[in-house]
Chains A and B, each alone.
Chain A
Amino acid sequence: MVEELAVIPHFGDENAEKVHRSIALAAPGLPVVGLPSAPRSSADPDGGWRQAGQGDAQVFVSGKPAGIDALPH
């Protein structure tokens, strides 16, 4: 139950244009996380995020790639 965050599952396998649309339509400052099938990202109790598994979760903020630190705490 995370607010101010959008997740695109199966990132990389989805239709590229649809993914692009999701990222482009996101409000400025809204992180959009693209999760490939393998990795997972989880929120720590202290509010931090970490990812595990193979592959990397892609984070986009305002249409530009960002790091996992951009996720809301």
Chain B
Amino acid sequence: MTVIVRGALDECRHRLGVGHVERDTRYPARRARRQCVGGRLRSGLVDVGQDHRGAAPRQCARHCFADPRRRPGDDGHTSLGSGCRPPRGEPRPGMRIGSRRRWRWHGHGHGAATPTVTPMVATEGGAVPWLSWVGANGPTGAISMLSSCRVGRRRGAGVADRGRVRTSREGGGHGPVVVREARGSGPGPDGARPRRRRGRGQRRAGAGQPFRVPRWGIALAPALGAQDLAGVEALLDTWRRGAVVAGSSAGAMVLTDPMVDPRGGALTVGWAWWRNWR
């Protein structure tokens, strides 16, 4: 079997060579594009997309420096998660940990941190799952994507927005982690009771279960659930079984470790890093 990891989807190629993944099915055109993507995946492809939805023109113009004065700490580019505006009610990119009503409205996968490298794996047998929003941008992008996804799901379970940062030792040697307590599990780490919110969250399964939210990516990978890594794992399993994995464009970029962060050129964690974890 040959798995081709591509770097672009349909006509939405942009200057980075990474395609845009259409996930919003409310509009017919987007639904059609998504079906088109699904059709391509059924042909046995892995596509790597990058979500620029909601990015302001300033963020889209990556060749422009965010800080002309190049002050310390500026990597030359504005992060996509900051300074973005939601056009016409579309979800604002960035971490969604706070209480925002639009979270549930957009459902799983939306409102996640951008840029987003989204692996979609065409597995053997023709089943083409839309995998969890696993990224490969490493600590600042992809794996923090995982955290936002997990937060997103658990927010449906009624998770309070409070937690504490554990030390590296407490985290089992995997670096600092943010421990978030589920709603209804008692007072928060600062002694205050979780802020009550109305809604169905408290009645959902999973409420009351503490979970970890990885914050700095690579060091926190062991805390991630297998469901979050389904995409990369499926690809790795296929590769271990002897499949030929070919990458082009951003697909080639993410198959290595480290990988080049498409936002600013820094090096971060690539998919190849995960091969050591399974």
Contact for A25 among B248, B249, B265, B275, CB less than 8 A: B265
A35 CB within 8 Å of chain B: yes
Given A15-B63, A21-B265, A22-B266, A6 and B271 contact (CB-CB distance below 8 Å) = no
A9 to B275, CA, bound (A): 22
Contact between chains at B258 and A18 (CB < 8 Å): no
A34 to B86, CA, bound (A): 35
Chain A interface residue count, Cβ-Cβ cutoff 8 angstroms: 27
Chain B interface residue count, Cβ-Cβ cutoff 8 angstroms: 32
Q: Which residues of A contact B275 (CB under 8 A)?
A: 1, 3
Contact between chains at A1 and B7 (CB < 8 Å): no
A69 CB within 8 Å of chain B: no
B253 CB within 8 Å of chain A: yes
Given A6-B259, A9-B17, A40 and B267 contact (CB-CB distance below 8 Å) = no
Q: Which residues of B contact A35 (CB under 8 A)?
A: 252
Q: Which residues of A contact B16 (CB under 8 A)?
A: 10, 14
Question: Is the contact region of chain A dominated by helix, strand, or loop, or is it mixed?
Answer: mixed
Contact for A4 among B15, B245, B257, B264, CB less than 8 A: B257
CB distance from B272 to the nearest CB of A (A): 5
CB distance from B240 to the nearest CB of A (A): 9
Given A9-B249, A22-B266, A42-B246, A3 and B257 contact (CB-CB distance below 8 Å) = yes
A46 CB within 8 Å of chain B: no
Contact for B255 among A1, A4, A22, CB less than 8 A: A1
A12 to B52, CA, bound (A): 23
CB distance from A12 to the nearest CB of B (A): 12
Q: Which residues of A contact B82 (CB under 8 A)?
A: none
Q: Which residues of A contact B264 (CB under 8 A)?
A: 18, 21
24 A-B pairs whose Cβ atoms sit less than 8 Å apart in the complex: A1-B255, A2-B256, A3-B256, A3-B272, A3-B273, A3-B275, A5-B256, A6-B256, A6-B267, A7-B253, A9-B17, A9-B249, A9-B250, A9-B252, A10-B249, A14-B16, A18-B76, A18-B264, A22-B266, A25-B266, A25-B267, A30-B258, A30-B267, A35-B252
**A residues neighboring B (CB under 8 Å):** 1-10, 13-15, 17-22, 25-27, 30, 32, 35, 40, 42
